[in-house]
Amino acid sequence: MADPKSGHLLESAAIAAGRRLRDVRERLGLTLRSVEEASNLLASKFNNIEFGIPPSRLSDIETKGVLPSLYRMQSLAIIYRVSWDEVLSWYGIDLRAKPPDLELFTAPRTHLIQGSNIPEEISLPLRFDPSLDFSKTANLGLFVQKWGVLPMTYLTSFASDNFNYGFIGSQDYTMYPILPPGSFIQIDPSKSRVRKAIWRSDYERPIYFLETREESLCGWCSIRDGKIILQPHPMSPPEIRIMRWPQEAEVIGQVVGAAVRLGGE
């Protein structure tokens, strides 16, 4: 059963947002009709009539708390020269909000990460205690003398589009314990050719990220007689997978980095 109190709060937020949209329109000297004309131009440009905003609908949005569709909200943001983030914030939507408990939203299957969700700024240690010896394992938190905020735009100059990123599903134990479920991995697509060699350790042996029509896979690989063999870690429960290559499995690239959660559940 819906909570009437939450419904009332939503309605109040929509009314307040509508008023702000009206204030912006009037400050720009735009009429309901001129907004309609501008939105129709956007609808024509994007080949989607949903971007169009009739005067009667805009009036309802401004005065009655009617929620605009995503298309119409985008039209208003463009016409009013207001950022998309700001318009959404008027309706109580924070694009930078984090889930209260990320574990509740963990995907069970391994997958490539699509798009990006990068914060505008990040807190970093700016100055360490001079006694800190970086050659030794240490609790860095005890040696940070000053923290500071660094805009993420500063770091984009160091960013590279040469990598893909993936997530090891919460039920994927193929490479456990090297890559336990929940690991965030970096994939180099330039290293998609499965190599043959004698590896000195499990950590030296290349791990590859594969995609089939049904799922994504991650593990040690070898190719023999037109087939690709996915070898799990000996300590993990999954069995060896054998698929036709490249018809049934595509090698996306080699895993070259990982952020791993430690400490069990």
Under DSSP, the state recorded for 224 is E
Q: For 107-111, 188-192, 229-233, which range has the lowest pLDDT when averaged over its residues?
A: 107-111
Looking at the fold, whether 183 and 121 belong to one and the same domain comes out as no
Looking at the fold, whether 174 and 247 belong to one and the same domain comes out as yes
Q: For 9-18, 44-53, 175-184, which range has the lowest pLDDT when averaged over its residues?
A: 9-18
Looking at the fold, whether 193 and 139 belong to one and the same domain comes out as no
Looking at the fold, whether 82 and 125 belong to one and the same domain comes out as no
Looking at the fold, whether 217 and 247 belong to one and the same domain comes out as yes
Find the CATH number of the domain harbouring 57.
1.10.260.40
Q: What is the mean pLDDT of the chain?
A: 82
Is the model's pTM score more than 0.75? no
The domain in which residue 24 lies consists of 4-90
Within-domain flag for 248: yes
Within-domain flag for 76: yes
Looking at the fold, whether 59 and 19 belong to one and the same domain comes out as yes
For residue 196, what are the CA distances in angstroms to 182, 199, 233? Answer: 28, 9, 17
Looking at the fold, whether 171 and 206 belong to one and the same domain comes out as yes
Looking at the fold, whether 154 and 168 belong to one and the same domain comes out as no
Q: Is 121:149 a contact under the CB 8 Å cutoff?
A: yes
